[in-house]
Amino acid sequence: MSKNFTKKIIVLAAATLSLGIQQLQAQTSTDEISDQPKNIVKWNVAALITKSYSFQYERAVSNNIAVAIGYRNMPKSSIPFKSTINDAVDDAQTERTIDNFKTSNFAITPEVRFYVGKKGVFQGFYLAPYVSYAKYKGEGPFQFDIPQLNRTETMFFKGDINTYTAGLKIGAQWKLSRLVYLDWWIIGPNYGSAKGDLYSQRNSSIVEQAVIKQQIDNLIDDLPLIKATSQVDANGANIHIKGPWAGARAGLNVGFRF
């Protein structure tokens, strides 16, 4: 995907959100919202599988429309589902790097929800265009072999990646009791762009630089869903990530209406 296409996707989603907000503002003045509480706070319990804490606040603004904002945080830990990732790469050096890599992230995600059923806001199926900003941090050792010198060396990389994505979520929400709700994020594919750097400082000879460059390139070529390039000089190495970024939102939330 081209850089211009990525920008168009993000601009389109932002425009959809903007139009949705304008529409809900207009409807708020003409539609009578129920006298029931207009807010729900939710905890995405399914996010614990990915070692994350995810919460969302939703507010009704008309009979069928709500706005929401989500926050996700994953404290520093090993990569989620690393065994699955290792099965996909089939390379001992890459597997070793993934096993020892630590990462953390947070994300902020606003959305507009359009409830399509007859029960109105907070109940039934909904469509929710959204945009999201996320920041990922990572650090870990990278071992490389120097056959010419018959030894193995280790470099320590750290850095962060910023992502900007947009998407459309399909979900359903049910009223379990007067104030308790269950919100199922069925699927929410997103697409956008990512940019960031992982870097390491190390004094290296010309021979070592060539070896490091080759083995880093082998590593990043094996990683799925990431487009990266590397630069290596006498003072260290840098892995630069810039390009498309794709993902999906899913979850199961328990909410309290107030």
Residues, the chain, total?
258
In the predicted model, is pLDDT for residue 89 greater than 70? Answer: no
Cα dihedral sign, 43-169-242-224? positive
The whole-angstrom distance between residue 168's C-alpha and the CA centroid of its chain comes to 14
How sure is the predictor about 149, in pLDDT bands with cuts at 50, 70 and 90? Answer: confident
CA distance 67 to 56: 10
In the predicted model, is pLDDT for residue 202 greater than 90? Answer: yes
In the predicted model, is pLDDT for residue 221 greater than 50? Answer: yes
CA distance 40 to 176: 13
The b/e string for 180-201 (b: 16+ C-beta within 10 A; e otherwise) is ebebebeebebbbbbebbbebe
H helices within the chain, ranges in order?
Answer: 3-28, 82-89, 92-100, 206-222
In the predicted model, is pLDDT for residue 25 greater than 80? Answer: no
In the predicted model, is pLDDT for residue 82 greater than 70? Answer: no
The b/e string for 226-235 (b: 16+ C-beta within 10 A; e otherwise) is eebebebeee
| Residues contacting residue 94 through CB under 8 Å, at least 6 positions apart | 86, 218, 219, 222, 223
In the predicted model, is pLDDT for residue 159 greater than 70? Answer: yes
Mean pLDDT of the chain: 86
Between 84 and 27, name the one with better pLDDT. Answer: 84
Please report, in angstroms and rounded to a whole number, the separation of the first and last CA atoms in the chain: 43
Q: With left for phi above 0 and alpha for psi between -120 and 50, is residue 104 left, alpha or beta?
A: beta
pLDDT of residue 218: 86
CA distance 108 to 131: 9
In the predicted model, is pLDDT for residue 3 greater than 60? Answer: no
pLDDT of residue 1: 45
In the predicted model, is pLDDT for residue 98 greater than 80? Answer: no
Regarding beta strands 39-44 and 53-60, do their DSSP bridges make them parallel or antiparallel, or are they unpaired? antiparallel
In the predicted model, is pLDDT for residue 32 greater than 80? Answer: no
Record the tokens describing residue 109, joined without a space.
Answer: 């995600």
| Residues contacting residue 206 through CB under 8 Å, at least 6 positions apart | none
In the predicted model, is pLDDT for residue 138 greater than 70? Answer: yes
> Are the beta carbons of 88 and 95 closer than 8 angstroms?
no
Report the range of poorest mean pLDDT among 106-115, 148-157, 171-180, 249-258.
148-157
Report the range of poorest mean pLDDT among 43-57, 80-94, 156-170, 240-254.
80-94
pLDDT of residue 257: 97
Between 50 and 149, name the one with better pLDDT. Answer: 50
User: Rounded to two decimals, what is the model's pTM?
Assistant: 0.79
How sure is the predictor about 150, in pLDDT bands with cuts at 50, 70 and 90? Answer: confident
> Are the beta carbons of 95 and 138 closer than 8 angstroms?
no
For residue 44, give the amino acid letter: N
pLDDT of residue 14: 55
